[in-house]
A = this chain, B = another copy of it.
Amino acid sequence: MPPNPQEARMINIREHFRAFLKDRNQRQTPERFTILEEIYKLNDHFDADELYIHLKGKGVNISRATVYNTLELLLASNLVVRHQFGQNQAKYEGAYRYRQHDHLICLDCNHVLEYCDPRIQAIQEMVAQILNFEITHHALHMYGHCKRENCEFRARKGLAGR
């Protein structure tokens, strides 16, 4: 039977990482592939420690140092992107065939939503020209309060699904 689309995609992703490592003469260790696999299974935004704890929870024994080290490799190979939403830890997300998008961050529960608006690209190009700046990328973060039923905010304030 043919592999399902999810697994076919994962095969491409692993192959991309394998090629990247080979190209840089870096070793294809089981730790690195385990981390890659878990990131794509998570399919969400996460921080380094969440990933470490998640692995521990599955009985996988990989040190924090290796998690951080592998995240650097995944960033360099464009299989992961890093975001700085707050003033604390960086958040990451899988980025295979990444389409530029921006983020809404709930200040109460840290829930992250994604959105995309073509006008941002237009603004970027205009600003670059006016200010004589070569822009490589941007980050547009919108902060506020989400309306999820189970948002911590509502829980704390006792506002029944306002």
Contact = CB atoms under 8 A, between A and B. Distances in A.
Interface of A: 82, 84, 86-87, 90, 104, 106-107, 113, 115, 117, 119-120, 122-124, 126-128, 130-147
Q: How many copies does the complex hold?
A: 2
Contacts of A139: 139-141, 143
A140 B140 contact: yes
Contact of A113 (B87, B113, B131, B143): B131
Contacts of A144: 128, 133-137
B145 A133 contact: yes
Contacts of A134: 144-147
Q: Which 5 A-B pairs have the closest CB atoms?
A: A135-B144, A134-B145, A138-B142, A140-B140, A136-B144
Given A82-B87, A87-B82, A135-B104, A127 B142 contact: yes
A115 to B, nearest CB: 5
